Amino acid sequence: MVDFAIWGCAMIVIAAFVTDIRTMKIPNWLTVSAMLGGILFHTAADGLQGLLFSIKGLAAGFILLLLMHLIGAVGAGDVKFFGGVGAWLGLLLTVQCIVYSVLCAGVIGFLILLWRRETMQRMRNVLRNLAGFFILKSFRSLTAGKEQQLRFPFMIAVLPGYAIACMYSIG
């Protein structure tokens, strides 16, 4: 059953990847259908146990990405999307998928900075903001320069993160 859930969720991940690359948004119809589809699939397959499995995953994906959204790391569509992924994959695999996606995002962001040749300037800004936070004890310095943040569609990192998490869960 887990293999079918992984492949079912893979179709949703691919659809979200395409829409996020094109529009920098993940549509609500996709996220809501992912959530409902995961819940219905697991409930039909395993009854109450499947329903609980799905709801725990949905909550984990939604809450973890909501925390990331609150600090400005991801968009609201990503939050809802990972709720849908959680409904399909359950708690453990969803958390693994998030961790691998964040690691992939870090690598991708670093490569973009190297490509643009602005790495050292951004590193100086980060160090300056951190020093302001620790010396002045002000959160204001951490939010300074938010308009200059490096942005790219998170799905660029989610696709390999999802593949890595699923690869380790199967084999």
| Per-residue pLDDT, 133 | 66
Instruction: Choose between 148 and 64: higher pLDDT.
Output: 64
pLDDT at 138 over 70: no
Cβ-proximal residues to 97 (8 Å cutoff; 6+ apart), any chain: 82, 85, 89, 158, 161, 162, 165, 166
Q: 9-65 pLDDT, tens per residue?
A: 999 999 999 999 999 899 999 999 999 999 999 999 999 999 999 999 999 999 999
Supply 38's token pair.
């995961």
Residue 126 makes CB contacts below 8 A (sequence gap 6+) with none
Show Cβ contacts of residue 93 under 8 Å, excluding neighbours closer than 6 positions: 57, 165, 166, 169
Whole-number CA gyration radius for the chain: 18
Most confident of 5-9, 29-33, 113-117: 29-33
132: pLDDT strictly greater than 80: no
pLDDT computed for residue 20 by the predictor: 92
The domain in which residue 123 lies consists of: 2-170
Residue type (1 letter), 36: L
pLDDT value for 80 = 96
Q: Which of 169, 27, 43 is nearest to 97 (CA)?
A: 169
Residue among 104, 92, 100 at smallest CA distance from 2: 92
| Confidence at residue 152, expressed as pLDDT on a 0 to 100 scale | 82
Residue 149's pLDDT band (boundaries 50, 70, 90)? low
C-alpha angle with apex 145: 140 to 148, nearest 5 degrees? 155
pTM of full prediction above 0.85: no
Concatenated DSSP letters for 77-115? HHHHHHHHHHHHHHHHHHHHHHHHHHHHHHHHHHHHHHH
Kindly tell me if the per-residue pLDDT of 90 is higher than 90. yes
What pLDDT, on the 0 to 100 scale, is given for residue 30? 96
Q: What is the mean pLDDT of the chain?
A: 87
Q: How many domains does the chain fold into? A: 1
State residue 140's pLDDT score.
Answer: 57
